[in-house]
Structure 1
């Protein structure tokens, strides 16, 4: 029996082997399929997400909802991580530049940010006699509410935090119908935060240095966005993914279908051998990965073998239950009957544009004709003929189509 590990331990193990950052859902899916964790709850991905978001000593958020190990963000293997590291360097450099600015220039920088955010009639006050007010502006919400705001900015070094006395000072300078906003490059003390929320007093919003930098990035003030070409592997052309393809098309069908080892006209034979193995012997994913490596001379990579195992899974013939591979009801029926028409119908239920390509081939069509037909009529954006060719080879193996001098044609 495989020893279960904690959600955190599973996440660390999976992310160590991952080439790209993964979401909590993806990590949980792998952990459950590989029988690493045990969860009686209805939403194990929520439990996993809680670990990832809270343990900042182990995990780093990279992009929207994606995570990597903290040490991976330092090595920058992934383009996403490299981009984040570059942006973090720019943020640090931006803080340094702001610290070097003339205080009055800083006020104009903040004024520009407020305009980008949506404030109107933004005006930087005179350098003297401003009564603690550096900028004034109106924030109009939906054309209905006009919030007159007095803003104080403090270009302080990190650690020199703003105290509650500045909140009191700003309130004393404001008019009865105004609201307050203090923006600093440092941070606020606890008494400042408490005072800003005091009951029956003019509300004062607080923006600390971290929030300021985030806003400058968001509204592209003081920074510019460089558009660069980042290349990634086109998985249409290579082995199946390490995990089942998360991308689904029309009707929740899988977009991906892949070959099986043994030769391009031996897919059915290989599939039958695999299903015999699953039916005869209780097997984990690791057992079946080793079976592929041991059974086929040209299969030397466990990652590739894992991809082959996802072929019948995406087709709806096998699944994993409590860490072991089992035949689905459709898989059991095909295994018993070896009926190729039933196999064709099962694949068609689970793979995008499989049956439709067969129907499209009433007249001979080229691979390019088929690619254009699928891209125009299905939710795919294929840039190569790989997925078209894989479908055509499976249809040939099923005896449904043939290749002629004029193209591919249904029999």
Structure 2
């Protein structure tokens, strides 16, 4: 019988297999069926080398298991079906990220950095950030504290990051800081060379593929079921773009989102939005156009429509016959610009809004956002896996003047 090469033997065995196999299992079958002949002491290592390096024929499925590329397309086994599902979700995830609001993307990255182990992670102000979108500290072994400035670029595939962004980030950083650039696309060759340049501040690079892998690893933006099939986490990506909204057990909206203009400009943007509506420039089309023309980071109709639902969920506006109209509460707030009234109105319509404020007021110590998340999950009809909705509530409370952020955490006012 003519012996086969290790690669051809692996192809033959995997074609006949019902499940993905490990390099050791493939080698044992090949030897028992006398498909290969070897004098080496470690044929499993030789087989593994073929499986890991020939990515045109073989695909790694699960931990140490392999299947043929064509098999993963046909999904003849549960493991392959799971692999296909996860691959589809990865493709959908990168599309979701590329469509989401740039500011929300910064919060997504901040959440990822926290999960990785960064401390004191903060999204910077929208204006005057000098190219720095997020900051954080990475402590290694309790000994070294690496202060990091992070720039995020939500770019379409093919729109690669050039070396000028590396230079820009270095110019914005302080002496004791390190740089990190995260993009949904990739980096040009000169960017990769510049990031590794000697005698300059180190800048780490994370491209779109690495970003997706990290999001999956740390389960940010995705949820994992018992069988490890991933699905999109709507908590981070669904901005409630239609007129309906998900209500909690108290008939309040579960979601509150930012408005464009800057981290501490939510109220100002809200006031300008209500001004536009009160001036009868209030068709939905006009309001969408106003958002796009007024804010550089609002570039799509979908995103603008999402922002219109922010005051709707708050109980300040409604939609009627294709137009945006002020509610009774919206007219009252627009007339007086009373932040206490705004606080009470939002509290009446947004789940756990007033309660977070009361929680912070009743505490003798500042609370971390993670502690606030635990409080909300334990006391309300939610099971949030990320800090997104807690962070957005805290930012609105800061804008309204009900919460302050200190080095120790958040305090009620």
Cα distance in 2 between the residues matched to 1:29 and 1:11: 11
Shift of 1:228: 4.4
- Structure with higher Rg: it is 1
Cα distance in 2 between the residues matched to 1:229 and 1:107: 27
Q: Which residue of 1 aligns with 2:166?
A: 167
**Residue 69 of structure 2 is aligned to residue 70 of structure 1:** yes
Cα distance in 1 between the residues matched to 2:194 and 2:227: 46
Q: Which residue of 1 aligns with 2:51?
A: 52
Deviations 1:75-102 (A, max 9, x none): 1111111111101111111111111111
Cα distance in 1 between the residues matched to 2:35 and 2:86: 35
Shift of 1:48: 0.9
Q: How does 1:194-209 map to 2 (within 5 A)?
A: 194-209=193-208
Cα distance in 2 between the residues matched to 1:93 and 1:17: 32
Q: Which residue of 2 aligns with 1:178?
A: 177
Tell me the secondary structure at the aligned position of residue 210 of structure 2: helix
Q: Which residue of 2 aligns with 1:295?
A: none
Q: Which residue of 2 aligns with 1:119?
A: 118
Q: How does 1:86-125 map to 2 (within 5 A)?
A: 86-125=85-124
Cα distance in 2 between the residues matched to 1:31 and 1:212: 38
Tell me the secondary structure at the aligned position of residue 35 of structure 1: coil
Q: How does 1:280-299 map to 2 (within 5 A)?
A: none
Deviations 1:137-185 (A, max 9, x none): 1001111110000000000000111111111110111000000000000
| CA RMSD after TM alignment | 1.3
Tell me, yes or no, if the aligned pair for 2:82 and 2:228 is still in contact at 8 Å. no
Tell me the secondary structure at the aligned position of residue 145 of structure 2: strand
Q: How does 1:108-257 map to 2 (within 5 A)?
A: 108-228=107-227
Q: Which residue of 2 aligns with 1:30?
A: 29
Tell me the secondary structure at the aligned position of residue 120 of structure 2: strand
Tell me the secondary structure at the aligned position of residue 223 of structure 2: coil
Cα distance in 2 between the residues matched to 1:143 and 1:99: 36
Shift of 1:23: 0.6
Q: Which residue of 1 aligns with 2:15?
A: 16
What TM-score, normalized to structure 2? 0.54
Q: How does 1:320-331 map to 2 (within 5 A)?
A: none
Q: Which residue of 2 aligns with 1:339?
A: none
Distance 1:229 1:46, change over 3 A: closer
Shift of 1:229: 9.9
Q: Which residue of 1 aligns with 2:321?
A: none
Cα distance in 1 between the residues matched to 2:142 and 2:46: 42
Structure 1 residue ranges, 4+ long, deviating more than 6 angstroms after superposition: none
Cα distance in 1 between the residues matched to 2:223 and 2:19: 26
Deviations 1:278-334 (A, max 9, x none): xxxxxxxxxxxxxxxxxxxxxxxxxxxxxxxxxxxxxxxxxxxxxxxxxxxxxxxxx
Cα distance in 1 between the residues matched to 2:225 and 2:32: 40
Residue ranges of structure 2 left out of the alignment (5+ in a row): 230-413
What TM-score, normalized to structure 1? 0.55
Cα distance in 2 between the residues matched to 1:227 and 1:45: 32
Shift of 1:187: 0.6
Residue ranges of structure 1 left out of the alignment (5+ in a row): 231-411
Cα distance in 2 between the residues matched to 1:109 and 1:28: 43
Cα distance in 1 between the residues matched to 2:202 and 2:38: 45
Shift of 1:57: 1.5
Shift of 1:197: 0.8
Shift of 1:33: 1.4
Shift of 1:50: 1.3
Distance 1:183 1:74, change over 3 A: same
Distance 1:228 1:56, change over 3 A: closer
Q: Which residue of 1 aligns with 2:247?
A: none
Cα distance in 1 between the residues matched to 2:67 and 2:159: 33
For these two proteins, the number of residue pairs brought into alignment is: 229
Deviations 1:109-152 (A, max 9, x none): 10011111111111111111111110111001111110000000
Q: Which moved more, 1:93-102 or 1:38-47?
A: 38-47
Cα distance in 2 between the residues matched to 1:138 and 1:187: 25
Cα distance in 2 between the residues matched to 1:177 and 1:228: 44
Cα distance in 1 between the residues matched to 2:189 and 2:64: 30
Shift of 1:20: 0.7
